[in-house]
């Protein structure tokens, strides 16, 4: 596998720095001449690859994977062949990493030692592996070599398409701009050098140019390879020793609205039952291009299936439609043979720019070609993939030479609000999910927070739990969710109520020990009535005089004054435990608990908890109490969380409770996706050596 971007990229940049000097003895990190390929053939390969990616980037035709007859049907065997192809791509990536890091180690200090060790270990394992290998006790069918090239082409085309949708610069797409006109490596180089960027030892202009060349090479590698590795491992499986093929799975990605500001949140379930998510506004904006590409690919697949069905009805049956007909006769069988369809299907609902788009699907995918066409863009909606893309863009924004940055600035493309739901699943997985009880834990496609569904009620009973978008019938799903005018009207009314509550909360001041709330109307009203009693009592004493025989009228005055004082003290203490006179006279009160805050503001307790949870990252409030487990900042004399949180409250604030099983039994794990969360994940099998382990939850 050859990328071919390093040499041409640096060749286009170095003359901008020193146009009077030319360096010709620069090694190529992706040089394949050592493997029997001539330099002329290598150059031709690079030129063809440039032309292919330019064509992909400049056309509006949806991307499509086209394989051999081995992928005519979505059978267990075809899934195993897909895993085998992904494993071959991973092995090729190991060779690319090994060759490139060796060159960097020889000429510079930019070599990533850990990457070099990992690639060398993998290649040693491949070299020592016996020729007659067995995978889980059975022979794995050998994949068609042409399918390998088709898969590699489709993967790079998807990556290139995503890059072209990420920014608004007008540079012509080519290999050198696979993910940006200039890829930034500042953060990557800091990781390579243990967090320290030492000054380059420049002894001449040529030495400076050589350093810049290797810097550019390292930037490209650090940007592209992690993203491609994420994609390939999702197809192959995360096991380092053996590839895995799964035919009972669900890959689901959804973007839904949470919080008072209805900010976007992305949650993703992969085929290994790992749950990932992000609520960072930049990541959500970046994911929009991935969902747009996915929507185009899926709609293209659906049109192909409809056309094939029409030809089949007219008697012009093809090999693919014949397989599809065979697959339809196999529906309902739980035990499929190697050559029977596993019933892969996809459902989706995509609402770009805030428009209301109805549910599409479920659509039964006719062939493995269709499955791969939909699966790879769906994997690129994963938060970890979006995380790599964002790091890539950051490098492309802050690490280029100033002259090049000014000539061709990278401006990330901004999108409006959107919601999305995409679910790729198999018949076997759907059967297992549907067999579970209504109170049992189910997959992500059954989750309550689809699109704007959290705004349908103030609690879970108001939202209602119905069948999955992915596994239910299209007609029933439309009736329950999309075309239900009553539900849509209830959502609109509830959103207006939340907007009103949110506007009231904007005046609150969050302190370390409580929440300061203005209550001038309440204080002024209370003082007015008390003053009325005082003045009225005094007026009675003056005006009545001796009109009432045997009665001192000023006793009535004293009684009115005592009543006013009593009313003032009771009204001052009935809502909060401690209200200093200074705050009272200034028309403000420091609430020390949720119940006090609700009593003072007349806002529902669960609404208050939503505000506290979603804004915890930007406030100084410290909490205590019996129900403050989910809060991060705690103090013995902080704000008391004396009201339990409801499930609706946690979901609306961005907290997702996931049921897990372990050796100690069942339990709940919280995936925290509150506003601003860069990246969160709950792994089915934790990797204690992972670089992001401080942000992970293992179960």
Q: What is the pLDDT of residue 240?
A: 56
282-311 residues labelled b (16+ CB within 10 A) or e (exposed): ebbbbbbbbbbbbbbbbebbbebbeebeee
**Residue 480 banded pLDDT, cuts 50, 70, 90:** very low
Q: What is the pLDDT of residue 456?
A: 67
Q: How far apart are CA 218 and CA 104, in angstroms?
A: 8
DSSP structure class, residue 498: H
Of 608 and 437, which is predicted with more confidence? 608
Query: For 470-497, what is the mean pLDDT?
Result: 61
Q: Would you say residue 277 has pLDDT above 80? A: yes
**Residue 195 banded pLDDT, cuts 50, 70, 90:** very low
Q: What is the pLDDT of residue 328?
A: 45
Query: For 172-190, what is the mean pLDDT?
Result: 33
List Cα–Cα distances, 519 to 287, 497, 588, 600, 640, in angstroms: 43, 21, 5, 8, 20
By CB neighbour count within 10 A (0-12 exposed, 13-18 middle, 19+ buried), where does 696 fall?
middle
Q: What is the pLDDT of residue 679?
A: 87
Q: What is the pLDDT of residue 465?
A: 47
Query: For 519-523, what is the mean pLDDT?
Result: 92
Residue entry with tokens 């080519």: 174
* Of the candidates 211, 185, 228, the residue with the CA atom closest to the CA atom of residue 97: 228
**Residue 205 banded pLDDT, cuts 50, 70, 90:** low
Which range of 47-56, 239-248, 443-452 scores highest in mean pLDDT? It is 47-56
What average pLDDT is seen over the chain?
75
Q: Would you say residue 9 has pLDDT above 70? A: no
Q: What is the pLDDT of residue 49?
A: 82
Q: Would you say residue 332 has pLDDT above 80? A: no
Q: How far apart are CA 360 and CA 205, in angstroms?
A: 59
Q: Would you say residue 367 has pLDDT above 50? A: yes
Query: For 315-323, what is the mean pLDDT?
Result: 46
Q: Would you say residue 511 has pLDDT above 80? A: yes
Lowest mean pLDDT across 152-156, 457-461, 480-484: 480-484
Q: What is the pLDDT of residue 315?
A: 55
- For 42-73, the pLDDT digits (tens) are 888 888 888 888 887 777 788 888 888 888 88
Q: Would you say residue 612 has pLDDT above 90? A: yes
Query: For 219-224, what is the mean pLDDT?
Result: 75
Q: Would you say residue 107 has pLDDT above 80? A: no
> Residue 654 in contact with residue 613, Cβ under 8 Å?
yes
Of 101 and 504, which is predicted with more confidence? 504
Q: What is the pLDDT of residue 99?
A: 76
Residue entry with tokens 């940055």: 405
* Of the candidates 361, 370, 378, 360, the residue with the CA atom closest to the CA atom of residue 324: 370
Which range of 140-149, 222-231, 280-289 scores highest in mean pLDDT? It is 280-289
**Residue 474 banded pLDDT, cuts 50, 70, 90:** very low
Report percent pLDDT > 90 for the chain.
17
Query: For 201-222, what is the mean pLDDT?
Result: 68
Report percent pLDDT > 70 for the chain.
70
Question: Rounded to 5 degrees, what angle do the CA atoms 586, 588, 590 make?
Answer: 135
Q: How far apart are CA 335 and CA 513, in angstroms?
A: 61
Bridge partners, 665 (sequence order): 662
Q: What is the pLDDT of residue 26?
A: 74
**Residue 358 banded pLDDT, cuts 50, 70, 90:** low
Which range of 7-11, 526-530, 667-671 scores highest in mean pLDDT? It is 526-530
Strand pairing class (588-591; 655-662) = unpaired
Q: What is the pLDDT of residue 525?
A: 92
Query: For 619-639, what is the mean pLDDT?
Result: 90
Lowest mean pLDDT across 271-275, 325-329, 434-438, 654-658: 325-329
Q: How far apart are CA 276 and CA 673, in angstroms?
A: 9
Q: How far apart are CA 446 and CA 308, in angstroms?
A: 31
Lowest mean pLDDT across 217-231, 442-456, 556-570, 592-606: 442-456
Query: For 427-449, what is the mean pLDDT?
Result: 82
Lowest mean pLDDT across 293-307, 313-327, 415-429, 492-506: 313-327
Lowest mean pLDDT across 368-377, 538-547, 640-649: 538-547
**Residue 445 banded pLDDT, cuts 50, 70, 90:** confident
**Residue 189 banded pLDDT, cuts 50, 70, 90:** very low
**Residue 342 banded pLDDT, cuts 50, 70, 90:** confident
**Residue 643 banded pLDDT, cuts 50, 70, 90:** very high
Q: What is the pLDDT of residue 184?
A: 28
Q: Would you say residue 521 has pLDDT above 70? A: yes
**Residue 452 banded pLDDT, cuts 50, 70, 90:** low
List Cα–Cα distances, 652 to 57, 295, 673, in angstroms: 38, 26, 10
DSSP readout, 317-371?
--HHHHHHHHHHHTTT-SS--TTSB---EEEEEEEGGG-----EEEEE--SHHHH
Q: What is the pLDDT of residue 699?
A: 41
Q: Would you say residue 636 has pLDDT above 60? A: yes
Q: Would you say residue 408 has pLDDT above 80? A: no
As given in the structure block, the two tokens for residue 603 are 């806002």
């Amino acid at each position: 596998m050859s990328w071919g971007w390093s040499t041409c990229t640096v060749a286009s940049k170095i003359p901008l720095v020193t146009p009077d000097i030319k360096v010709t003895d620069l090694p190529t990190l992706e040089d394949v001449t050592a493997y029997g390929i001539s330099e002329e053939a290598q150059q031709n390969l690079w030129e063809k690859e440039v032309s292919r990616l330019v064509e992909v980037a400049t056309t509006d035709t949806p991307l499509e994977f086209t394989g051999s007859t081995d992928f005519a049907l979505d059978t267990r065997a075809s899934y195993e062949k897909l895993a085998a192809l992904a494993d071959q791509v991973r092995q090729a990536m190991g060779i690319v990493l090994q060759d490139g890091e060796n060159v960097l180690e020889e000429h510079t200090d930019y070599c990533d030692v850990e990457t070099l060790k990992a690639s060398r270990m993998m290649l040693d394992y491949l070299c020592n592996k016996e020729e007659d290998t067995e995978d889980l006790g059975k022979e794995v069918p050998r994949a068609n070599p042409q399918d390998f090239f088709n898969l590699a082409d489709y993967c790079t085309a998807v990556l290139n398409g995503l890059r072209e949708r990420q920014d608004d610069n007008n540079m012509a797409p080519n290999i050198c701009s696979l993910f940006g006109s200039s890829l930034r490596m500042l953060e990557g180089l800091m990781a390579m050098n243990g967090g320290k960027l030492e000054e380059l030892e420049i002894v001449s202009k040529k030495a400076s140019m050589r350093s810049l060349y290797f810097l550019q090479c390292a930037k490209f590698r650090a940007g592209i390879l992690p993203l491609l590795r994420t994609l390939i491992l999702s197809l192959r499986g995360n096991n380092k020793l053996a590839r895995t093929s799964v035919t009972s799975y669900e890959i689901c990605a959804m973007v839904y609205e949470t919080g008072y500001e209805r900010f976007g949140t992305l949650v993703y379930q992969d085929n290994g039952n790992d749950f990932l998510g992000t609520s960072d506004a930049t990541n959500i904006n970046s994911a929009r291009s991935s969902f747009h590409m996915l929507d185009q690919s899926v709609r293209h697949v659906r049109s192909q299936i409809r056309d094939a069905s029409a030809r089949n009805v007219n008697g012009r049956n093809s090999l693919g439609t014949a397989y599809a007909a065979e697959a339809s006769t196999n529906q309902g069988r739980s035990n499929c043979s190697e050559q029977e369809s596993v019933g892969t299907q996809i459902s989706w609902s995509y609402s770009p720019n805030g428009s209301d788009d109805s549910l599409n699907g479920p659509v039964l995918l006719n062939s493995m070609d269709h499955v791969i066409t939909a699966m790879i863009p769906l994997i690129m909606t994963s938060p970890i993939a979006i995380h790599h893309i964002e790091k890539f863009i950051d490098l492309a924004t802050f690490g280029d030479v100033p002259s090049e940055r000014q000539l061709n600035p990278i401006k990330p493309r901004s999108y409006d609000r959107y919601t999305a739901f995409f679910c790729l699943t198999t018949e076997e997985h759907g059967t297992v999910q549907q067999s579970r009880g209504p109170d049992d834990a189910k997959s992500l496609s059954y989750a309550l927070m689809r699109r704007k569904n959290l705004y349908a009620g103030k609690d879970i009973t108001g939202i209602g739990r119905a069948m999955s978008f992915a596994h239910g019938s299209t007609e029933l799903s439309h009736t329950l969710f999309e075309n239900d005018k009553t539900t849509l009207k209830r959502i609109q009314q509830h959103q207006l109520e939340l907007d009103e509550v949110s506007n009231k909360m904007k005046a609150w001041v969050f302190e370390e020990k409580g929440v300061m709330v203005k209550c001038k109307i309440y204080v002024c009203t209370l003082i007015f009535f008390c003053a009325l009693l005082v003045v009225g009592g005094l007026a009675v004493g003056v005006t009545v005089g001796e009109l009432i025989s045997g009665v001192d009228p000023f006793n009535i005055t004293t009684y009115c004054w005592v009543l006013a004082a009593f009313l003032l003290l009771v009204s001052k203490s009935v809502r909060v435990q401690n209200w200093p006179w200074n705050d009272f006279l200034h028309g403000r009160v420091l609430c020390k608990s949720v119940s006090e805050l609700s009593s003072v503001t007349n806002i529902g307790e669960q609404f208050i908890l939503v505000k506290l949870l979603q804004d915890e990252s930007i406030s100084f409030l410290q909490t205590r109490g019996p129900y403050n487990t989910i809060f991060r900042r705690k103090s013995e004399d902080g704000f008391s969380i004396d009201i339990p949180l409801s499930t609706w409250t946690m979901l609306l604030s961005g907290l997702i409770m996931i049921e897990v099983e372990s050796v100690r039994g069942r339990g709940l794990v919280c995936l925290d996706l509150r506003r601003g969360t860069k990246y969160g994940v709950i792994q089915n099998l934790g990797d204690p050596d992972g670089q992001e382990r401080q942000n992970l939850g293992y179960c």
